[in-house]
Amino acid sequence: MEKQRLIYHIDVNSAFLNWENKRRHEIDPDAPDLLAIPAAVGGDSAKRRGIILAKSPVARAMGVTTGEPIAAALRKCPTLTLFPPDFKVYTANSAALMELLSSYSPALQQFSIDEAFLDMTKTIHLFGKPIATAQELRKRIKRELGFTVNIGISTNKLLAKMASDFRKPNLCHTLFPEEIPQKMWPLPVGELFLVGRSAKARLSLLGIRTIGELAHIDKALLCSHLGSKYGTTIHNYANGIDDSPVETEEPENKGIGNSTTLAQDITEFDAACQILLLLSESVGARLRRAGHKCSCLTVECRDNDFRNFSHQMTLNAPTNTTSQLYDNATHLLKELWNGAPLRLLGLRATKLDEPAYTQLSLFEDPGSKKLEKLDSAVDAIRDRFGAGAIKRASILSADMPAEKKTKKKPAP
């Protein structure tokens, strides 16, 4: 008989917005609480990165969803206040959170930039009762780190994660096995971890709309429609079954990639190659910093109809140099591209070898010079291809609220 575990799932409420909120309150303690008003973090529409990355619970209540175009969000919620993303801020806050969490248990698994699992089984006795301890942790994060979290409490990761998704923000919830019928089974099946758009549609054909209905369907029937591996997984999940351990070791990277939506569609091969050069530089730099070489390279394209194409090749010899990445990438693009206007270009390096033991950073700073070079190259491309977009952006900015980025552009 296995011992019952105690698992917490910690989830930063509307993480990017919450961290933006913290930043603003450090500057002005009287600033409004961004989680209490219609607010969101989103990309730059002028650069065609205009989607919602995080939204306040208030915005959510007005129908705003993560991933939707900003324009659509504004139609639902005209008073929505938008903020640009700042990943340096997010990384720093994430690190501070993980540091604090690690003082509660060594069994800590960072699941994403804003989520973590804590296995409290062996350490809860140092703190107190499970629910009271989670409440104290929640308050401590708010007091010491300046942002709010939800904490889900249960006996495995799946149930803890489902629990942390209950009412937000700044709350702790339990979802112990005996609470499953009341708290989890009535939920729409799409809210179950790993049930996305496609699975939801196929389950709908089987008449399954809630997690409870999924929990009770014959497993063999389910597997015959969704495959035995996936079918078994979500059937177990719907019944609250998950034996996976909290993984302390961080998994080794399987690949390193970089992709970018272009401010303007590209139609010229040479222009596409210049983007590939930038991507090669950044992927190469990350490979070198990690001490990896790759044996497989993939070029990914998205055309202006949002169709995706990719081409990959196994390399003759493992590499991490910009020039070899670039040479192979251009070759792949030549085979792949039919000339349709490109909205996105991406480059991904996979089949990574074992990291070399010599770390570049001991001998040189791999960052500064190359990043400077990359930055200047990015600027050059932007100047070269962004002219139309910049003109459009400046027109747009005329009837937009303040704090628009001012772009300086040398005379053509």
Partner DNA sequence: TGTTGAATCCCAC
Partner DNA sequence: CTAACGGTGGGATTCAACA
Kindly list the catalytic residues: 115
Instruction: Rank residues 136 and 273 by Cβ distance to DNA and give the closer one.
Output: 273
Instruction: Rank residues 176 and 309 by Cβ distance to DNA and give the closer one.
Output: 309
Q: Least distance in Å: CB of 358 to DNA?
A: 22
| Residue among 193, 198, 206, 202 at smallest CA distance from 234 | 193
Q: Does 137 bind DNA (CB under 7 A)?
A: no
Burial tier of 3 (Cβ tally within 10 Å: 0-12, 13-18, 19+) = exposed
Q: Least distance in Å: CB of 114 to DNA?
A: 5
Q: Least distance in Å: CB of 128 to DNA?
A: 28
At 187 the three-state DSSP class reads coil
Dihedral class, residue 265 (left if φ above 0, else alpha if ψ from -120 to 50, else beta):
beta
Among 40, 107, 108, 113, binds DNA (CB under 7 A): 113
Count of residues in the chain: 412
Amino acid at 358: T
Q: Least distance in Å: CB of 264 to DNA?
A: 11
Binding window for DNA (CB under 7 A); candidates: 192-200, 317-325, 357-365, 381-389: 192-200
Q: Does 157 bind DNA (CB under 7 A)?
A: no
Binding window for DNA (CB under 7 A); candidates: 47-55, 131-139, 267-275, 371-379: 47-55
Binding window for DNA (CB under 7 A); candidates: 88-96, 259-267, 385-393, 402-410: 259-267
**Rounded CA separation 381/282 (Å):** 15
Binding window for DNA (CB under 7 A); candidates: 101-109, 131-139, 190-198, 382-390: 190-198
Q: Least distance in Å: CB of 343 to DNA?
A: 7
Q: Least distance in Å: CB of 321 to DNA?
A: 18
Binding window for DNA (CB under 7 A); candidates: 43-51, 118-126, 134-142, 177-185: 43-51
Instruction: Rank residues 16 and 104 by Cβ distance to DNA and give the closer one.
Output: 16
Cα 292 to the center of its chain, rounded Å? 23
Residues contacting 114, CB < 8 A, separation 6+: 11, 12, 15, 90, 94, 97
Q: Does 45 bind DNA (CB under 7 A)?
A: yes
Cβ neighbours, 10 Å, residue 401 = 8
The residues in 205-244 that bind DNA, with binding defined as CB under 7 A, are 227, 229-230
Instruction: Rank residues 45 and 236 by Cβ distance to DNA and give the closer one.
Output: 45
Tokens of residue 197, six digits: 């758009």
**Rounded CA separation 4/177 (Å):** 11
Among 67, 78, 207, 401, binds DNA (CB under 7 A): 67
Instruction: Rank residues 110 and 124 by Cβ distance to DNA and give the closer one.
Output: 110
Among 10, 34, 51, 246, binds DNA (CB under 7 A): 51
DSSP state of 37: S
User: Is-cis flag, bond preceding 169, omega within 30?
Assistant: yes
The residues in 263-322 that bind DNA, with binding defined as CB under 7 A, are 296, 306, 308-314
Q: Least distance in Å: CB of 1 to DNA?
A: 29
At 81 the three-state DSSP class reads strand
Burial tier of 62 (Cβ tally within 10 Å: 0-12, 13-18, 19+) = middle
x/- mask, DNA, residues 74-93, rule CB under 7 A, reads -x------------------
Residue 108's φ and ψ, nearest 5 degrees, are -115, 130
Among 259, 330, 394, 397, binds DNA (CB under 7 A): 259
Q: Least distance in Å: CB of 297 to DNA?
A: 9
What is the β-pairing status of strands 342-352 and 255-266? antiparallel
Cβ neighbours, 10 Å, residue 126 = 10
Among 116, 184, 275, 344, binds DNA (CB under 7 A): 344
| DSSP collapsed to 3 states, 341-404 | CEEEEEEEEEEECCCCCCCHHHCCCCCHHHHHHHHHHHHHHHHHHCHHHHHHHHHHHCCCCCCC
Positions that interact with DNA (CB under 7 A): 43, 45, 48-51, 53, 66-72, 75, 111-115, 161, 193-200, 227, 229-230, 251, 253-261, 296, 306, 308-314, 343-344, 346, 348
